[in-house]
Structure 1
Amino acid sequence: MTALFESREMADRASEKLKVYAQPQRLMILSFLAGGESTVSDIDNATGIGQPALSQQLAALRRAEIVKTRRDGKQIWYELADDTARLCVNTMEVILKDEPDKQQLLAAAIPNALLKKRKSATAGTAGFAKIL
């Protein structure tokens, strides 16, 4: 993996991505969506952002491919686009607290897929040990 200091192009891309996150209303939306898929009205009720600002911020998050949508009749459902977006939001929430909890930081930084692999590897080892 190339470090940011080694590539101006990577640093530029990272900076542009961070600009999308660096807006209070977007952070509120993303934090809410970290809890799961929601409708526009759910997001509005939880955040109190209101129209048309909510629509503008959701559009910016869609363009940046940080959220994705699905339509169900007249309802549009929003969710975080992928595990990378979820990891960014979870990590920011932990890091930016007044007094970050190191255990929460570690938990936010380790993707769930990696944790699942570790658990299944341990279970397999334990199962093997029982056979012996």
Structure 2
Amino acid sequence: MQVPLYQAKADLFRMLGHPVRIRVLELLQDRPMAVRDLLTEIGGIEAPALSQQLAVLRRSGIVTATREGSTVVYALAGGDVAELMRAARRILTEMLAGQNELLAELREAEAEAR
């Protein structure tokens, strides 16, 4: 039985729903990176935990892994993932701008009520 498109999209967003995975994708937008470099950049995460998150991204097909000697280098599988990360940033920026406008209106109303 085929999964409906909306279910497939929900599964994609659920898979992306981990802060470490998002951080990895953001870092890989700039260039492919070795695991040791990802560990350094992310900080505060142990190698096994990062490997687990990288495996989820690799299984989903969002990132690729290539072995260069004893080093595994990860890269985005395609430019669409980088575009998705940029779109998320734009959406968040708009949402926060809207909240700032609402906060300014509330403060103005509070000042007028005094």
Match of 2:19 in 1: 24
Of 24, 34, 46, 1:39 maps to 34
TM-score by length of 2: 0.75
- Give the length in aligned residue pairs: 93
5+ unaligned residues in a row in structure 1: which ranges?
1-7, 101-132
Identify unmatched segments of 5+ residues in structure 2. 99-114
Partner of residue 93, structure 1: 89
Counterpart in the other structure of 2:10: 15
- The answer (yes or no) to whether the contact 1:70–1:77 under 8 Å persists in 2 is yes
Identity over aligned pairs, percent: 30
User: Which residue, 56, 63, 84 being the options, matches 2:80?
Assistant: 84
Q: Please tell me the root mean square deviation across aligned C-alpha atoms, in Å.
A: 1.6
CA distance in 1, matches of 2:17, 2:76: 16
TM-score, normalised via structure 1 length: 0.65
CA contact (8 A) 1:34 1:90 kept: no
Map 1:53-132 to 2 at 5 A: 53-97=49-93, 98-99=96-97
